[in-house]
Amino acid sequence: MLEPSHNDELPVIPGKRYFTIGEVSELCAVKPHVLRYWEQEFPQLKPVKRRGNRRYYQRDDVLIIRQIRSLLYEQGYTIGGARQRMVDEDEGVSSTDVQAAIREAIEDLEDVLEVLKKV
pLDDT digits (tens, 9 = 90+) for 88-111: 877 765 667 677 788 888 888 888
Residues 19 and 28: their CA atoms lie apart, in Å, by 12
C-alpha span between 28 and 37 (Å, rounded): 15
Whole-prediction pTM value?
0.69
Query: In the predicted model, what is the mean pLDDT of the chain?
Result: 87
For residues 91 and 110, what is the distance between their CA atoms, to the nearest angstrom?
29
Region 37-55: mean pLDDT is 92
The pLDDT tens digits of the residues spanning 51-81 come to: 888 999 999 999 999 999 999 999 999 999 9
Domain annotation for the chain: domains and CATH numbers: 4-93 (1.10.1660.10)
pLDDT at 89: 77
Does residue 35 have a pLDDT over 50?
yes
With left for phi above 0 and alpha for psi between -120 and 50, is residue 81 left, alpha or beta?
alpha
In the predicted structure, residue 10 carries a pLDDT above the cut 90 = no
* Residues 48/58, Cβ–Cβ less than 8 Å: yes
